Amino acid sequence: MSLPVRATVTAKIEAVTPKGDEGLLVEFLRVYRDSVQLVVDGIWGLSEAPSWTELHSIFYSRLVKYGFRAHHVSEIYKRAREVVESTRKNSGSKPVLKKLTARIHTLDYRLDLNTKTIKIAVLHDKWIELKLKWYSYLNKYLDGSWKPGEIIVSYKYGRILVYI
């Protein structure tokens, strides 16, 4: 008897902002990181990680004031809980987040494989468009036969990276 296997495929693609929206993306990633840190700080001192409902009642109104969409907020909760649980499991000290990285829910981005672009929802219901630097090997993976789930957008050393 074989067990079902859950596979995660990730294509790392560099992207550029054709309209010069790089500053808007970096601002979004900074506020996202700072918001995850806010939630981490809020739950670090607790003996157990709070439930989803408790997180929601404590942090939702504050995060929405920053301009996040509801799906961004849920991804922030998820990331903060993962960071805290992982750090506690490894007996580490309180984590300080440094990387400019955000998880983007499937409803907060639009991937167009024909034009090789991706539109991402950022703060205050604004959308930015990223042009993906396409390489021929990506055609094998991103031929439209499967629909990607959540993606990760990262900004490192002046480069925008999208993990699909």
Q: How far apart are CA 142 and CA 147, in angstroms?
A: 9
3-state DSSP: the chain helix, strand, coil percent, rounded to 5? 40, 20, 35
Q: How far apart are CA 129 and CA 118, in angstroms?
A: 6
Q: How many CB atoms lie within 10 A of CB 29?
A: 19
- Please report, for the chain, the start and end positions of each structural domain, with discontinuous segments joined by +: 12-163
Query: Are the CB atoms for 64 and 81 separated by under 8 Å?
Result: no
**pLDDT-based confidence at residue 140 (cuts at 50, 70, 90):** confident
Instruction: Quote the pLDDT of residue 9.
Output: 57
**pLDDT-based confidence at residue 143 (cuts at 50, 70, 90):** confident
Q: Is the pLDDT of residue 146 over 90?
A: no
Place of tokens 């990680």: 49
Q: How far is CA 137 from CA 88, 94, 140, 141, 143, in A?
A: 40, 41, 6, 8, 10
Query: Are the CB atoms for 99 and 128 separated by under 8 Å?
Result: no
Q: How do residues 47-84 score in pLDDT, each as one tens digit?
A: 888 888 999 999 999 999 999 999 999 999 999 999 99
Share of the chain above pLDDT 90, in %: 66
Q: How far apart are CA 152 and CA 160, in angstroms?
A: 11
Q: Which residue has the higher pLDDT, 2 or 120?
A: 120
**pLDDT-based confidence at residue 3 (cuts at 50, 70, 90):** very low
Mean pLDDT value across the chain: 89
Instruction: Quote the pLDDT of residue 47.
Output: 84
How much is the pTM?
A: 0.89
Structure tokens at 101: 């990285």
**pLDDT-based confidence at residue 149 (cuts at 50, 70, 90):** confident
Q: How do residues 86-117 score in pLDDT, each as one tens digit?
A: 999 898 899 999 999 999 999 999 998 888 89
Structure tokens at 90: 């490894």
Q: Is the pLDDT of residue 151 over 80?
A: yes
**Pairing label, strands 100-104, 12-16:** unpaired
**Pairing label, strands 117-121, 151-156:** unpaired
